[in-house]
Amino acid sequence: MTVLKASNVSIFFGGLKAVSNFNLTLNEGELVGLIGPNGAGKTTAFNILTGVYVPNEGEILFNVGQKSDEKMINLVGLKPYQITKQGIARTFQNIRLFKDLTVLDNVRIAYHFNAKYNTLDALLRTPKFFKEEAVIKEKALQLLEIFNIHHKSNELAKNLPYGEQRKLEIARALATNPKLLLLDEPAAGMNPQETNDLMKLIQFIREQFKLTILLIEHDMNLVMGICERISVLDYGQIIAEGTPAEISKNPKVIKAYLGEELDTGA
Amino acid sequence: MKIMGENINMSNHLRKGIIIFAVAILIGAIISIGIYAGIIDEYTAHIITFGAINVIIALSLNLISGFTGQLALGHAGFMAVGAYTTAVLIMQYNVPLLIAIIIGGIVTAFFGLLIGFPTLRLRGDYLAIVTLGFGEIIRVTMVYLEKLTGGAAGLKGVPAFTTVIELRPTLSFVWVYCFLVIVIILISNLIKSSPGRAIISVREDEIASNAMGINVFYYKMLAFVLSAFIAGIGGGLYAPFYRYLNPTSFNFMKSIDFIIIVVLGGMGSITGTIISGFVVTYLQEFLRFLEDFRLVIYALVLILMMLFRPTGLMGNKEFSITNLFAKIKNLLPPKDVTKEGADQ
C-alpha cells in the first residue's frame, strides 16, 4: 500500500531550482533513505513534504486511509501543523527541542492536538481536564521509557547530553502519533557506538509503532545498514533509486559523490 | 477523626483548590478588615488597590509577552479602551458596574482581535510596532471623541464603586481584589494545561511547535485576545477607582510602566509579576518627591536587574501556596502516627 507519493515536485528560489521533478513513492512499513552530496536539496525536499515550503509544481499525495482502504489527499498548500495532524512527523537536522522546558513537557506538547479537552475545560479545571491530563502524562512517560529517558523527565531538555536530545526529538515526533516519520540526519554528531544504538532504535520503533520511515543521512554505515531502498538526490534531481547494493555500484552516484576521472585521452 | 477520613478521600485536586481558595479569602479579608478598621490608612489602601489594578494589567501583558513571547507595547491603549467603555456605559447608559466592566473587557478583546489578525501571522517585531501605534491612536482618538470622552479635558465624575464615602476604600479594594484573584487563577490554570503548553511552545520555537501539530497563529491569537480582554477589565476597574479619565494618562510611558513590571518580575512568572507590580506601584508613590528624577531610579533599577539577574526577580519560576503547605507539613512531626503509638 502506498503511503506517500510525490510526483514531479519542483521548487524555485528565484532563479535557483532547488528541487526539480522530485519523485518519491513510499510503501507502508518501508524504511527509505534519501542521500546526496551537500546542497543537493535533501532538507528542502523534507521541508516541502512537511509544508514548510509550498512547491511551485507537482503534487504530494498522502494516504490517510486505514489498512487496505486507500484515501489519498494532496498535501500541497497545507500548513505544517495540518500535515502533522494528517500523520507525518519530523525531526530536524539541527535539533529543535523546546530547550527551556522539561523533557516531559516537550513530549506533552506533541500530544496537544490529540488532547480531548478544550481551553474552557483548562480555564475552569473541569473533571475532564484532570482525567485527560493524567492520560497525557502517562502516555508521555511510557514513550520516554521506550527511549530510556523517563528518569530524566523533569530535567530541562537543554541539559540532556547530545545523544539523548536526539532521542527526545524522535520521541516527541512519535507523540504526534504519525504514520510516516521523517528523520533529518538522526545520526549527525554521534559516535559509531551511538550510531549503532540509533540503528537498533530506529528498527525497533518502526516495528513497535508500525511506521513508514524516510531518513536523510550522511552516515553511509547507517544508511546501507538499515535502509531497504535508497533515493539519491543531486542538484535537486533524483539521479538514482534502488537497494543499497545497487546504489553503491551505480556509476552516477559514484560520480556525484566522488567526481569523475578526467579523460586525458591518453 | 471522621473529618480527617473524608479529607483523605477527597481528591487531591479538590483539596489544592480549597487551600488556594481559603488563602485567597484570608488575605483579602485581612486587608479589607484592616482598611475598614482604619489600621491601613486611606492613602495606603489607595496604593494597594492601584497596585492590584496594575498587577491585573501587567499579568495580561505577561501572558502575551512573557508566555507567548510576542512583545506588545500598547497595553495602556487596551487599558484606555476598557476604562472609557466602562465609564461611558455607566454614565450614559446606566449599565450596572459589573456588566459594564465585562463589556469593557469584551470590547477591548475585539480590538485585540482586530490588531492581532494581520500582525500575528508575521514573525518578529511587527506586533510590537503595531501595538505601539495602536496605543497612540487610541490616545489621540480619545482626545477627539469629545462627546463621549470629554476630550482633552478628560472625563470627570465617573461613579465610584460605592456612593457611601466611608466604605469607599474598602469596597474599591474588595472589587479589584476579587478580579485580581480570578485573573490569577485563570491565567495559571491556562498556563498549566495543554493549550498553555502550546502557547509556551510558540515562545520556545515556532518552527518546532508548528511541526508538532500546533496551530501557532491560533494560539498567538488566543493569548493576545485574552490579554486584551484582561487589560480591558483592568481599565474597567481603573475608571470607577480613579473616577477621572484623561487621555494623557494612557500614553506610551504608561505602557512602558507595565513592561517594567513584567521584566522586573520575570517574563513568564505570574508570582514575579504580582510582587513587582505592587513594589513598582509603591515605588512610584514613594519616589514622588523626586519628581521627574524618579524615572532615573527606574532606569537604574532596570540596569541593575539586567546586570545581576537578567531573568527578572523570579525568572520563570513560580511560588506555589500548595507546595508551601506540603513543605510545612513535612517539617512538622507526623502527629497521627505518634498519637496512635501512644494509644497503643
Q: What are phi and psi of A257, to 5 degrees?
A: -85, -40
By C-alpha distance, the chain A residue nearest B215 is A81
| List of domains in chain A | 2-87+178-258 (3.40.50.300), 97-162 (no CATH)
Q: Pick from B186, B207, B214: which is nearest to A113 by CB?
A: B214
pTM: 0.89
What is the reported pLDDT for A265? 55
Residues B34, B95: contact at Cβ < 8 Å? no
CB pairs under 8 A between A and B: 100
Residues A192, A160: contact at Cβ < 8 Å? no
Question: Cα A58 from chain centroid?
Answer: 21
List of chain B residues whose C-beta atoms are within 8 Å of the C-beta of residue A98: 200-201, 204-205, 208-209
Q: Pick from B204, B207, B210: which is nearest to A101 by CB?
A: B204
Sign of CA dihedral A148, A151, A156, A162: negative
Distance CA A106, CA A101 (A): 7
Q: Give me the residue label for grid cell 576521472.
A: A261
Cell of B283: 515605588
Question: Cα A101 from chain centroid?
Answer: 22
Domain boundaries, chain B: 48-251
Cell of B323: 507546595
Residue type, B126: Y
- A98 and chain B: CB distance < 8 Å anywhere? yes
Cell of B294: 524618579
What is the reported pLDDT for A68? 65
DSSP letter at B206 equals H
What is the reported pLDDT for B315? 75
Q: How far is A184 from chain B (nearest CA, A)?
A: 13
Distance CA A257, CA B4 (A): 75
Q: How far is B100 from chain A (nearest CA, A)?
A: 23
ipTM of the complex model: 0.89
Whole-angstrom CA distances from B49 to B56, B241, B327 are 11, 8, 31
- Long-range contacts of B97-106, Cβ-Cβ distance < 8 Å, separation of 24 or more: B97/B159, B97/B161, B97/B240, B100/B236, B101/B179, B101/B233, B101/B236, B101/B237, B102/B233, B102/B236, B104/B232, B104/B233, B104/B235, B104/B236, B104/B239, B105/B229, B105/B230, B105/B232, B105/B233, B105/B236, B106/B229, B106/B232
Q: Pick from A43, A79, A125, A132 the residue to mutate for testing the B interface (most B CBs within 10 Å).
A: A125
DSSP letter at B340 equals H
Digit-by-digit pLDDT tens for chain A (266 residues) are 888 999 899 999 888 888 988 999 999 899 999 998 888 888 999 999 999 999 999 999 998 877 666 788 888 889 999 999 999 999 998 899 999 999 999 999 999 998 888 888 999 888 889 999 999 999 999 999 999 898 999 999 999 998 889 999 999 999 999 999 999 999 888 888 888 989 999 999 999 999 999 999 888 888 888 999 999 998 888 888 999 888 888 888 888 887 777 766 54
Q: Enumerate residues 171 to 210 of chain B having a beta carbon within 8 A of any beta carbon in chain A.
A: 186, 189-190, 193-198, 200-201, 204-205, 207-210
Q: Enumerate residues 64 to 103 of chain B having a beta carbon within 8 A of any beta carbon in chain A.
A: none
Rg (CA), chain A: 20
Question: Cα A167 from chain centroid?
Answer: 13
Digit-by-digit pLDDT tens for chain B (344 residues) are 444 443 443 477 888 888 888 999 999 999 999 998 888 888 999 999 999 999 999 999 999 999 999 999 999 999 999 999 999 999 999 999 999 999 999 999 999 999 999 888 887 788 899 999 999 999 999 999 888 888 888 888 888 888 888 888 889 999 999 999 999 999 999 999 999 999 999 999 999 999 999 999 999 999 999 999 999 999 999 999 998 999 998 989 899 999 999 999 988 899 999 999 999 999 888 888 887 787 788 888 888 888 888 888 777 777 777 777 777 777 776 555 444 433 43
